[in-house]
Amino acid sequence: MILWIENLGRIGLSFCQSVGVSGLFLSRTVFRKPRLIRLFPLVIEQIYAVGVLSMVIIVLSGLFIGMVLALQGYNILERFGAVEQLGQLVALSVVRELGPVIGGLLFAGRAGSSLTAEIGLMQVTEQLTSMEMMAVDPLWRVISPRFWAGVISMPVLIAIFCMVAMFGSYLVGVEWLGVDAGQFWSNMQASVNFRIDVVNGLIKGLVFGIVVTWIAVYQGYYAVPTAAGIGRATTKTVVYGSLAILGLDFILTSVMLGGW
Amino acid sequence: MLNKRFIEILVGMFMLAGIIALFVLAFKVSGLNMYSSKGSYHVSAIFDNIGDLKVRAPVTIAGVRVGEVSDIGINATTFKATVGFRVDKNQDKLPADTTAKILTAGIIGANYIELIPGYDEVNLKDGDVIIDTQPAIILENLISQMIYKIGGDKKESN
């Protein structure tokens, strides 16, 4: 019994410790002497790796999610004779929830895991240590550009995801199933509010971007420097990142619907 | 390794795509259009009941959108709703005795304001108040009136 309590205590302590370490890690990455001119090219390079290369998966999944939502929505709305509300249904569900959440999950799988693996391998091959030997701070040279690139890319990817999903639902709803195009757009425009729906969706995207990239670089930086360790760190990034997105989504949604 | 310029161009296109997506979301999906104070004038109307009217609901003349509701409030002494709305500057020939009524788009649709122009020589201008209005039709009230009426008929026939 006492052993069980002891184990519980150890788990709790190590959890608090890792939260503290990752918090310090983040603050050391973010709050430092601004050397923007030298940081900028590095960030550009990382936006290419994190954002541009994620475009394919984001665009494709956005397209298919829009198309599937239109199909499903049409089938149900048809029973009530309200197919002209299809645009509203798809727009609200994509912009408010599906865009940020699915975009975030894909981002954690595509970009987060590769960030972790890359930094973890740098750790294993002692590239980070040798940077320190050359008086180059690896937090500044390696972690910081990757973090900022993730934070910048995420809302952009979410916006693209939502736009493509709208296009996909237009294709299925209007071009294929024959919903009137004017009603499709006007019902959508009447119900979607820019401030409440679109901006809040992008705020979600920004928060998810911060959290996922933070988890990814932290897991990579503190990965156990073995082959198995990197594998575990990559898995942890995807698992923790996805759970964090889903949990935070609930909190953010309740705050946003609560009249904020 | 791709050359640096190519990467920078791709990143630029990526950011551009994001900005375009934001604009599409703003103007095509959420129908954001500015009836700003510059290109429009502010008129208010006093209603007995505004039903489900919301801020940014359309204001129409003969079914054509000419503006949108900008603010909704309640008069503390008369307990009537005051609805302010912005009308497009191009529509400055509206007579001063224009009336306003709140309509519903379809049975379960959203409420909007319809302006019915009058015959006055003087034109409506910024800051005017429309007093001659028709309140929103509340479906529940109609149904309860109908039920009451049906019940009354039965009693009479008995």
Q: What is the pLDDT of residue B52?
A: 78
Lowest mean pLDDT among A156-160, B29-33, B66-70, B92-96: B29-33
Q: Residue A135's pLDDT is what?
A: 87
Residue B68: what pLDDT?
A: 83
Question: Look-up: residue for tokens 């048809």?
Answer: A78
Q: Which pLDDT score is estimated for A260?
A: 53
Residue B20 touches chain A, beta carbons under 8 Å: yes
Specify whether B52 is located in the same domain as B24.
Answer: no
User: Chain A neighbours among B 110-129 (CB < 8 Å)?
Assistant: 110
Residue A114 CA to residue A237 CA, distance in Å, equals: 10
Residues 25-54 of B with CB under 8 A from A: 25-26, 28-32
Strand order across the B129-130 sheet: B129-130, B40-47, B81-88, B64-74, B58-61, B111-116, B99-104, B133-134
Give which of B3, B22, B27 to mutate to test A binding, by max A Cβ within 10 Å.
B22
Is there a contact between A48 and B30 if contact means CB atoms under 8 Å apart? Answer: no
In a domain, B107, yes or no: yes
By Cβ distance, the residue of A185, A190, A197 closest to B110 is A190
Question: Rounded to an integer, what distance in angstroms lies between the CA atom of residue B86 and that of residue B95?
Answer: 16
User: CB distance A163–B25 less than 8 Å?
Assistant: yes
Q: B14 and B65 share a domain? A: no
Comparing CB atoms, the residue among A48, A156, A194 nearest residue B18 is A156
Is residue B104 in some structural domain? yes
Say what the pLDDT of residue A167 is.
92
**Which residue blocks in chain A are alpha helix, DSSP H?**
2-30, 36-50, 55-79, 86-93, 99-107, 113-124, 127-133, 138, 144-170, 181-191, 200-221, 227-257
Confirm whether B119 is domain-assigned: yes
How many domains, chain B? 2
Instruction: Give the C-alpha separation, B39 to B89, whole Å.
Output: 5
* Range of A147-161, A245-259, B64-78, B109-123 with top mean pLDDT: A147-161
Determine how β-strand B58-61 pairs with β-strand B133-134.
unpaired
Residues spanned by the domain of B114: 40-144
Q: Say which amino acid occupies A64.
A: F
Q: What does B13-36 look like in DSSP terms, one character per residue?
A: HHHHHHHHHHHIIIIIIS------
Chain A residues with CB under 8 Å of B55 CB are none
For an interface test with A, the pick among B9, B29, B55 (most A C-beta atoms closer than 10 Å) comes out as: B29
In whole angstroms, how far apart are CA A66 and each of A71, A87, A159, A168, B90? 9, 10, 14, 5, 38
Is B21 in contact with A192 (Cβ distance < 8 A)?
no
Is residue B149, in this structure, part of any structural domain at all?
Answer: no
**Predicted pLDDT at B2:** 64
B56 and B17 housed in the same domain: no
Residue B156 in domain = no
